[in-house]
Structure formats: C-alpha cells, structure tokens
Structure 1
C-alpha cells in the first residue's frame, strides 16, 4: 500500500493514469488496423438457376458375385471374365453410373476379387463396394 507523506493514513485512491494511457494506446492501434483487415475485393458471384431440375432416376446397383473357384456372376447370371469386362465398359458410359457391389465367398482368394475390382476400375466404374454379412456381436 502507498502511504501519504502528510497525514499518516493510508491512501484510498487508485492511480488510474497508467490504465488510461494503455487503453488510449490500444484504442488508437485498433482504430488504425481495423480498416486494413476488411478486404474490398469485388467478387462476381454466380447466379442461381431457379428452374426446376430433373433428378436423375436412381439406377439399381450391379451385384458381381465371385465364388471360391473363380466363377463370376453378374446379377445372378453366370458370366466369363471377358463378358464382365464388356459389361463394365457399357455400364461405365451411363449417367449416372450404377454402383458395383462385389460379393465373394469367405474362401475366395483375394487375388480373384482384386482382379474383378481392377477390371471394373479399368473400364471406368467409379463406385465399387464390397458386400459383407453384418457382425452379430456374439
């Protein structure tokens, strides 16, 4: 505490002069820097087209089943690897592209499944997924 020199009692006033000085300096700094923070760049935003858009009809997914002996099925129809490749190329040209769901036996080698996925991607199919059985949480 600060003591006065004359009366011997304690000073009860707080010296606010340094606080006012600091606040005035901060006020001046913010007054100078605030206009610099706003950018006056003119941007031409695109115009919204309010016409009704027709939603594309959803296409049913394609199911490719792979057995452990390498037999391939396209939507439950047995196909060869060449037929599978040609069907993928036809489906890749459609808009929107259907999704390809790959189902494989537990004992199917990964190499066979990988060949099917690579064939689909090589022909331009973008949506390739895998079908599994859900875990029952024993």
Structure 2
C-alpha cells in the first residue's frame, strides 16, 4: 500500500489502492525470454545419424547377461538362440530370478530400430528394467561419418 503525501492541508493521510506492477512486468519479460529461447530447442524435426560413443568404458560384471539381436532378427541369450515368447523364462533361468541384474543388449547395425524396441519391450515385460545398450567403442577420438 502506498500513502499519498502530496496534500499539505491537515493531518489526513489517504491511502491509495494502486498496485505496483513493475516487478510483475519484469517477471513476465523474463518468462517471455525463457520461452523464446526454449521453444526452438523443444522441437526435433532434423534427421540425425547417431555417432559412435566415445564415453569411457565401464567395468563389466563377472558374468554379464547378453541378449543379442542378429541380422536375421533372431534373438540369442548368450550363445543360444531363444524364441521370443521364451525370452522371459530363459532370462529368469540365466539370472536366477534376479530382476535387478543388468541385461546387456546388442544388435546388428542392420537391425531396424523398431525391432530393437520390440526386444526392449520383451525385456521390460519380463520385468528386466536395467538394460544396457552395447556398441563399438570409438578409438579414433571423434565421431565417424
């Protein structure tokens, strides 16, 4: 609340009910700038070829569980070919029922992305949520074309 001190006649001070909107305008302008910068970043419409990872290699567990998707879309658990409906039971046998064990998923580079996601959905449906994707390590220090 502001007090009007302009009148010099007497002791009656009147209160004014004007709201100071300057801080409100400052906040609105800051939000406008944030949205102007963030809006172009939120749209993804550019086709991209994903590079090879150059992240440092993580230590491997003693007995890792590998699920591989071959170029003919066959699924292998370790070295053995497994049918898609039997993947959950085979994983339970390999991990001794430990659903928290990390599953390493490998796929041939010719495998369509949709097929890879289908295998990930099979893993999730079987209760295995910790899935690591395996790729080649980039030893040249940069992305390959």
- Please, what TM-score do these two structures have when normalized by structure 2? 0.48
Unmatched 5+ stretches in structure 1: 1-57
1:78 aligns with 2:81: yes
How far off is 1:102 after superposition?
0.6
How far off is 1:111 after superposition?
1.3
Structure 2 equivalent of residue 29 of structure 1: none
Paired with 1:71 and 1:84, the residues of 2 have a C-alpha distance of 11
Structure 1 equivalent of residue 122 of structure 2: 119
- Please, what TM-score do these two structures have when normalized by structure 1? 0.50
Q: Deviations over 1:29-62 (max 9, x none)?
A: xxxxxxxxxxxxxxxxxxxxxxxxxxxxx77221
How far off is 1:126 after superposition?
2.2
Task: Compute the RMSD of aligned alpha carbons.
Answer: 2.4
Paired with 2:119 and 2:130, the residues of 1 have a C-alpha distance of 13
Question: After alignment, is 67-76 or 81-90 more displaced?
Answer: 81-90
Contact residue 65 and residue 103 of structure 2 kept, 8 A: yes
Paired with 1:118 and 1:91, the residues of 2 have a C-alpha distance of 19
Paired with 1:109 and 1:73, the residues of 2 have a C-alpha distance of 17
Unmatched 5+ stretches in structure 2: 1-60
Contact residue 99 and residue 127 of structure 2 kept, 8 A: no
Structure 2 equivalent of residue 65 of structure 1: 68
Runs of 4+ in 1 over 4 A off after TM superposition: 89-93
Contact residue 89 and residue 124 of structure 1 kept, 8 A: no
Higher relative contact order (CA 8 A, sep 6+): 2
Q: Deviations over 1:53-76 (max 9, x none)?
A: xxxxx7722101101221111001
The number of residue pairs the alignment matches comes to 81
1:135 aligns with 2:138: yes
Larger CA Rg, structure 1 vs 2: 1
